[in-house]
Amino acid sequence: MASVSVLNELKKTQILELLEQGKRVDGRALDEARELSIEVNAIPKANGSARIRLGDTEVICGVKIQPDRPFPDTGDKGLFICTAELLPLSHPTVETGPPQPPVIELARVTDRGIRESHMIDVSQLVIEKDKSVIGVFADNVVVDYDGNLFDACSYAATMALLTSKTPKWNWTDEKPVIAEGEDTQLPIMTIPVSVTMAKIGSHIVVDPNGDEWACMDARVTITSDSDGNICALQKGGSDGFTLDEIVKCGETSVKIGAQIREKLKAAQQGAQ
């Protein structure tokens, strides 16, 4: 199928016309996110996993927890590594090969959203100082694309980490050995939630779908924690935001973030 990424002009005009009336093509309010469906433990053999559907965007995150060597300058901290990959089956325009800048940005923004919030207390993930620590790997794969991968990956990774189970390791004979006993939750300090907003013309919409993503002028992804503090932010796209717009986006992200956080917590409860 040739050039699916060329958004047809009619659709673009429609999107703008409706926005002028305060409406969106799929009937949502400007500050309304799409339906979020959460499946915990989608990959039972991983330490934790979640499959997220945000509208028609679908992401699976698998968490693997295993002993690793610490970084040279932080021997008293465990490792947290978060990645994101756009699978070629998610959209006809996705190519195989080394990741392109937009996907690298997606991975790094998802990683920072969780890392900067201090969701996981990595100081509790040490097996033997300077020698062996616990490595927590959260790998996101995008399985179907319909806009806003930033939030989908954020929710998938957060859910997978919240419901992960880890064994304990003891340092025995100069190597980490799995200890007897039940697996436990990771040391979770807060629940970060990202909210992405797109600027189309002079309107700001929350959780842009694929069509809105294709015609937006700029976007911002803001991550807030359980205390309502903003801990990570990324602006993207080739246009700019005014000061007022950016401040309003901050408020919206905390408000909508709180709603989403309740859904994540409910899913976590459901899984226990």
Partner 1 sequence: MADKRKYVIPGDVVTTGPFRPEQNVILDGDKIISTTIGISEIYDDSVKVIPLTGMYIPKIDDLVIAKVNSHTSLSWELDINSCYVGFLPAQDVFGRDFSAHADELSSKLKTGDLVAARIANFDRTRDPLVTISDRDLGQIDSGELVEISPSKVPRLIGKRGTMIQMIEMATDAAITIGQNGWVVVSCESPEGLLKAKKAIQMVNEQAHIANLTDQVKEMLELKGES
Partner 2 sequence: MGGRDATMVLLDENGIRCDGRKIDEPRRIMIRAGGLKNADGSAYIEFGDNKILVGVFGPRDVHPKHMSNTDTGILRVRYHMEPFSVGERKNPAPSRREIEISKVIKEALEPAVMLEKFPRTAVDVFIEILQADGGTRCAALTAASVALADAGIPMRDMVAAIAAGKVADTVILDVNNEEDQAGQADMPIGYMPSAEKITLLQLDGVLTPEEYKKCVQVGVDGCKLVYELQKKALNDKYFGKKGD
Task: Kindly list the residues in this chain that would bind partner 1 in the complex (CB under 8 A).
Answer: 1-4, 6-12, 14, 27
Structural contact between residues 59 and 153, judged by C-beta atoms closer than 8 angstroms: yes
Separation CA 269–CA 228 (nearest Å) = 21
Structural contact between residues 168 and 112, judged by C-beta atoms closer than 8 angstroms: no
Question: How far, in Å, are 46, 85, 106, 257 from residue 149 at the CA level?
Answer: 22, 10, 7, 16
Contacts of partner 2 in 188-217 (CB under 8 A): none
Q: Is 158 in the site for partner 2 (CB under 8 A)?
A: no
Give min distance, CB of 21 to partner 2, in A. 28
Contact call for residue 105 and partner 2 (CB under 8 A): no
The item of partner 2, partner 1, none sharing an interface with residue 143, based on CB under 5 to 8 Å by kind, is partner 2
**Cα separation, 33 vs 208, whole angstroms:** 8
146 binds, among partner 1, partner 2, none (CB under 5 to 8 A by kind): partner 2
Question: Whose Cβ is closer to partner 1: residue 9's or residue 227's?
Answer: 9
- What is the closest distance, in whole angstroms, from the C-beta atom of residue 215 to partner 1 in the complex? 10
Least Å from the CB of residue 35 to partner 2: 14
Is the distance from CB of 21 to CB of 136 less than 8 angstroms? no
Query: Does 146 sit near partner 2 (CB under 8 A)?
Result: yes
Nearest CA to 152 out of 202, 113, 94 is that of 113
The alpha helices in 145-196, defined as continuous H runs, are 149-162
Cα–Cα separations (whole angstroms), residue 113 to 12, 106, 154, 195, 225: 31, 11, 7, 11, 9
90 scored as a contact of partner 2 (CB under 8 A): yes
Q: Are 135 and 164 in contact (CB under 8 A)?
A: no
Q: How far is the CB of 164 from partner 1 (least distance, A)?
A: 36
Q: Which is nearer to partner 1, 11 or 168 (CB)?
A: 11
Choices 84-92, 147-155, 181-189, 241-249; region in contact with partner 2 by CB under 8 A: 84-92
Annotate 21-60 with b (16+ C-beta within 10 A) or e (fewer): eeebeeebeeeebbebebebbbbeebbbbbbbbbbebbbb
Which of partner 1, partner 2, none interacts with 6 (beta carbon under 5 to 8 A by kind)?
A: partner 1
Interaction residues for partner 2, span 31-50 (CB under 8 A): 42-46, 49
Question: In the set 23, 64, 108, 203, which binds partner 2 (CB under 8 A)?
Answer: 64
Residues that bind partner 2 (CB under 8 A): 1-2, 42-46, 49, 56, 60-64, 66, 83, 85, 87-92, 96, 137, 139, 141, 143-146
